[in-house]
C-alpha cells in the first residue's frame, strides 16, 4: 500500500458525486499556469494520437493547432464534459469509489491529468490503471499547483509542502512495478515557481500560480 489509510482521508467525506453535481465553468488556475501547461502539451504530445484526459472538465488546455486521432474524456460532471469541444467521447466515473477504468489495455499514446491528482484516495490503483491503458512508450503528464478544494484533497496532500506533493506524485509513478510489470520511466519533474514568499503566493499577491508537472513514460 502506497499510502496508509489516515493519509487517504478527506475533511469532507461525503459522496464526491454530490460535491461535483453542479457544473463549475471556471478554470482553477491562472492564465500563466494554463499557458505553461499548453506549451508542455505542445512539446510532449504528438498530433494524430490517442489521448486520455483523466479527471477533465469543460476545457482541456491542448494547443489549438494540434489535432488528435481521438480524445477520451473522464470527469465527475457530465455538463462540464459535454461542453469540452476537444473530447470525442467521455464518461463519468467516481475514481475514489471505483478506480478501474472501462478502457482497453494499451489503448492510448498519452494520459493527462490537470490539477486533480490531489483528490485521489487510491492513487496506487489509479496509476496502475494509467500504466495499463498506455501503449508502451506512452507518456503520462500530471500537472498541479498549490490550489485545491481543500476539504476534498487527501490528508497526505493537505499536510505536505509543495515539495512533498511533488514527491508524492513521483511515488505514485514509482509504485507501478512488479515481476511482470516494467512500470514507468524515472519521473521527470518540471517546476516553475513565482519568485515570492509562499504566504504571498497563497494570498495571490503580485504573482501567478506555481506550475508543477511530473512526466513519465510507460516502459516497454
147, pLDDT greater than 90: no
Task: Say how far apart CA 105 and CA 212 lie, in whole Å.
Answer: 28
Q: What is the DSSP letter of 203?
A: T
Q: Which CATH superfamily is domain 5-217 in?
A: Vaccinia Virus protein VP39 (3.40.50.150)
- Choose among 61, 54, 71, 62: nearest CA to 112: 54
User: Could you report how far apart the first and last alpha carbons of the chain are, in Å?
Assistant: 24
Verdict on whether the full-model pTM lies above 0.85: yes
Q: Are 208 and 138 in contact (CB under 8 A)?
A: no
Q: What is the pLDDT of residues 52-103, one digit of tens each?
A: 999 999 999 999 999 999 999 999 999 999 999 999 999 999 999 999 999 9
At 37, is the secondary structure helix, strand, or coil?
helix
Q: Could you give the C-alpha distances from 15 to 10, 20, 96, 120, in angstroms and in order?
A: 11, 9, 10, 13
Question: Which of 2-6, 15-19, 142-146, 174-178 is the least confident region?
Answer: 15-19
Q: Are 187 and 109 in contact (CB under 8 A)?
A: no
Helices (DSSP H) in the chain: which residue ranges?
16-19, 31-44, 78-83, 123-133, 155-158, 162-174, 198-202
β-pairing, 89-92 with 108-114? unpaired
The mean predicted confidence, pLDDT, of the chain is 92
Q: Give the mean model confidence (pLDDT) for residues 19-47.
A: 88
Q: Would you state the cell numbers that stand for residue 32, as one nine-digit string?
A: 500563466
Q: What is the pLDDT of residues 119-137, one digit of tens each?
A: 999 999 999 999 999 999 9
Amino acid at each position: 500500500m502506497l499510502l496508509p489509510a489516515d493519509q487517504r482521508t478527506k475533511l469532507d467525506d461525503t459522496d464526491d458525486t454530490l460535491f461535483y453535481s453542479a457544473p463549475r465553468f471556471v478554470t482553477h488556475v491562472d492564465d500563466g499556469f494554463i499557458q505553461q501547461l499548453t506549451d508542455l502539451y505542445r512539446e510532449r504530445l504528438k498530433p494524430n494520437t490517442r489521448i486520455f484526459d483523466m479527471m477533465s472538465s469543460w476545457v482541456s488546455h491542448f494547443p489549438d493547432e494540434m489535432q488528435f486521432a481521438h480524445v477520451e474524456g473522464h470527469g465527475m460532471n457530465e455538463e462540464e464534459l459535454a461542453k469540452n469541444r476537444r473530447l470525442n467521447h467521455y464518461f463519468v466515473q467516481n475514481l475514489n469509489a471505483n478506480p478501474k477504468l472501462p478502457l482497453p489495455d494499451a489503448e492510448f499514446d498519452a494520459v493527462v491529468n490537470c490539477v486533480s491528482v490531489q483528490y485521489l484516495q487510491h492513487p496506487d490503483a489509479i496509476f496502475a490503471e494509467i500504466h495499463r491503458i498506455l501503449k508502451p512508450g506512452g507518456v503520462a503528464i500530471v500537472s498541479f499547483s498549490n490550489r485545491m478544494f481543500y476539504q476534498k484533497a487527501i490528508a497526505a496532500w493537505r499536510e505536505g509542502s509543495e515539495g512533498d506533493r511533488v514527491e508524492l506524485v513521483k511515488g505514485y509513478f514509482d509504485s507501478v512495478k512488479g515481476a511482470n510489470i516494467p512500470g514507468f520511466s524515472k519521473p521527470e519533474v518540471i517546476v516553475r515557481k513565482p519568485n515570492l514568499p509562499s504566504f504571498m503566493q497563497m494570498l495571490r499577491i503580485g504573482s501567478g500560480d506555481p506550475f508543477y508537472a511530473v512526466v513519465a513514460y510507460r516502459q516497454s
